[in-house]
Structure 1
């Protein structure tokens, strides 16, 4: 669509001063002039994605820095989820074809077989003060034991409101990490943040811990001059939350798995089990297997204004917790009962951040009947399990590409700007032919050949 000029290529190493202070219009005009030919085409495209409601656009402009436009991702809904005996419709924000359809299909399948069971196992979150101490470890341990109460006391103003909601600091422990790095120690802290994700709360507490640590070390009588010089490297929450776990599960009699594409439920259950076992032992398969789970998880996390990058990082770390990357989901067949489940760490919030600012995030939470953070954890885990079930059912029966490429067909038609008549003929043709990008392109070319 656009091409850089040789003039622009010569200017690649130049910088622009004060870019953040330019107006949005000025930013766009500068970018268009510097990087696109013709400039006006880029300007028009960026402005086409502005929201016509000035209030909403201003809100979006202030979410991040140097905003020039909006990057839209479709918001869909997967209905018919029976979770813990209650039906729900789950919002999903995602750009990938077939994800919402697959989740909906899995939801409908299990709605007549007992539905999904979801349980929050625990909700503990973690933050750490990382520091360097060059001295006698036994003296540091004694110092910590005598100072621990002060860490709690000097964060009371920060934790006051959280404590009213039943949350706060659960515990602080001193961790010796000198086997990993010379002189490296941590204040390892656990938190309960109730319905907020808690990042700002946790980080504020940790930064106060760091101040208290340095101040108290300076006057601790047992420390030498060198030992009093505690060096705080950083104070930050961890997105790895192995004690903030939710479990989602489906189960039924093997014989009840029967449906159109599963004429032999026993053979299907056994093959499904084998597919899961392969993902448990083979990292190359496990990564793609878990990516399918994240299709469901990320879509709900994004739709509700939560941080999907933090969720992704924490979940993939959890998948490697025993030293090898493995499947997040598991299956078994016992006493003629098929069971499929997953356990994942999820640090989510339903108050604060974008959940309170983004109009569609608020709408998504309202669609879920304004859940608590624990309830949202259950919805998200169920979406991940549903997505995984749908993918494995396809892989072990018809194959993954059949349904996926039929859903992807619309994207190909849009790419080639097919008109209504062409769309009708193409869809009719591919009802009985295998959909692939090259096959669709070839058929479009046939339709467009001059007679």
Structure 2
């Protein structure tokens, strides 16, 4: 039975691994070997990775793929994607090629405002609190000048600060609601530092305010933190072409394809069970780019799914229509991304990914990322309404199954040839592999 450990963070990496092996891996030499197998042979590079997080024992690798031929706003991009799921990069690449022959993708950042909040309680009237806020607002902004100075030089900073009364939802609850522009930085540390200074000054001024009672002076800061919901940090991406241009490799007319495609999107707009899977396909493209460029995919996921629920029902992120004989497919999503700070200047592959994208600004990266999500969704819907999703997915998954069963190169060649003419299922692959071996 394993035992708790004290001072684990102070152990060396080797000591951590030995403790892990002894308590959870039955001291299995193969397990220890696997942990060490993924260490980088470059000691300095490994040390860099070790210091990204706490208690590191190894590196966890994901494939980094490239989806080429993305024509975005008249310029070509090769998009780096870090993801483990079969067929995602292939599907994005296929969609990119399809639309590059039809005018490409158009993308535009509509807004870049980010949000932070100071959450606090106050046992008094809103009018008295608001009077204090209006009096000290210039002092609040002055107090963060040392923090905002460099951001303001880059054209960003604090856009607005408001006092919000939330007592109808929760007794005595108020917030400072702050809007930021963080330029090419994702800005989490910048935003949180500003908010904590606002909280400090607000509490001090409340305690010293002559018109406040003893109870009112006891203004309590609950927390100061940015929001990952950024409904005013929006990017739009779209594609369009004449309906008749949609018939390529589908065995359908362009009109039939457009009708089925739009119906599939409308189902996702009104049916939450479908919308979740529909949007997961969008996120296959978005997450892969966000991860490859060193951004916070958990924050992006949370914000986008909240945005998909803003009407009170979870719905599709993408939309489609035919207008005057032209098929249009588009997405509008919140994306708070950065191209400076964090891993963007530390992780060698993140730096490489940004180099591949020609060192984009945060706004350009927002456009590229939204396009990746739209392309992925187009490819998924196209498969669903034509051949079905499994044909392409299982073709890509075939190699994973063969690797899982340690197929040789000769066996892989024969299996790929066989399944060019047969339906791929997990059981059929195993059955054919056993026949081949016998």
* The two structures share one fold, judged by TM-score above 0.5: yes
- Residue in 2 aligned with 1:366? 355
SS in 2 for 1:178: coil
Structure 1 residues 176 and 264, CA gap change in structure 2 (3 angstroms): same
Q: Which runs of 5+ in 2 are unaligned?
A: none
Aligned with residue 85 of structure 1, among 74, 94, 98: 74
What is the total number of aligned residue pairs between the two structures? 438
Aligned partner of 1:407 in structure 2 is 396
Q: Is 1:134 matched up with 2:123?
A: yes
Residue 435 of structure 2 corresponds to 446
Match of 1:257 among 224, 246, 255: 246
Q: Deviations over 1:352-402 (max 9, x none)?
A: 000111000000001000000000000000000000000000001010000
Measured against aligned partners, the alpha-carbon deviations of 1:105-138 in whole angstroms (never above 9, x if no partner) come to 0000000101000000000000000000011211
Tell me the residue number matched to 2:300: 311
Instruction: Report how far residue 414 of structure 1 moved.
Output: 0.4
Q: Give yes or no for contact 1:294–1:384 (8 Å, CA) kept in 2.
A: yes
Secondary structure of the residue aligned to 1:250 is strand
* Unpaired segments ≥5 residues, structure 1: 1-9
Residue in 2 that maps onto 1:7 = none
Give how far 1:38 is off.
Answer: 4.5
Deviation string, structure 1 residues 46-103 (Cα, Å, up to 9, x no partner): 0000011111101000000000000000000000000001111000000000000000
CA distance in 2, matches of 1:137, 1:424: 74
1:271 maps to 260
User: Is 1:376 aligned to 2:365, yes or no?
Assistant: yes
The match for 1:295 among 279, 284, 295 is 284
Structure-1 separation of matches of 2:6 and 2:249? 64
Q: Does 1:62 align with 2:51?
A: yes
Query: In the alignment, which residue of structure 1 is the partner of 2:19?
Result: 30
CA distance in 2, matches of 1:191, 1:38: 51
Displacement, 1:448? 2.1
Q: For 2:60 and 2:276, how far apart are their aligned partners in 1?
A: 27
> What are the superposed Cα offsets for residues 10-58 of structure 1, whole Å, 9 maximum, x if unpaired?
33xx310111000001100111111113521111110000011111101
What TM-score comes out, normalization by structure 1 length?
A: 0.96
**Corresponding residue number in structure 2 for 1:6:** none
The 2-side partners of 1:260 and 1:102 are apart by 15
Asked if residue 165 in structure 1 is aligned to residue 147 in structure 2, the reply is: no
Counterparts of 2:264 and 2:314, CA distance in 1 = 16
Q: 1:180-203 deviations in whole A, cap 9, x for unaligned?
A: 110000000000000000000000
1:219 alignment counterpart:
208
Partners of 1:262 and 1:268 within 8 A in 2: no
Query: 1:336-358 deviations in whole A, cap 9, x for unaligned?
Result: 10000000000000000001110
Q: Which residue among 34, 58, 74 is the counterpart of 1:45?
A: 34
Q: Kindly report which structure 2 residues correspond to 1:191-210, keeping only aligned pairs within 5 A, or say none.
A: 191-210=180-199
Q: Aligned partners of 1:76 and 1:421: how far apart in 2?
A: 25
Q: Distance in 2 between matches of 1:417 and 1:349?
A: 41
Q: Distance in 2 between matches of 1:281 and 1:192?
A: 34
Question: Who is 1:75 aligned against?
Answer: 64
Aligned-pair RMSD on alpha carbons? 0.8
Aligned to 1:321: 310
- CA–CA distance in 1 between the matches of 2:419 and 2:26? 38
Match of 1:5 in 2: none
Q: What corresponds to 1:245 in structure 2?
A: 234
Q: Normalization by structure 2: what TM-score?
A: 0.99
Could you list the structure 1 runs, at least 4 aligned residues long, displaced by more than 6 angstroms after superposition: none
Structure 2: distance between partners of 1:143 and 1:35: 57
Q: Name the SS of the counterpart of 1:266 in structure 2.
A: helix
Deviation string 1:291-342 (CA, Å, 9 cap, x unpaired) is 0000000000000000000000000000000100000000000111000000
Cross-structure match for 1:3 = none
Q: Are 2:94 and 1:105 aligned?
A: yes
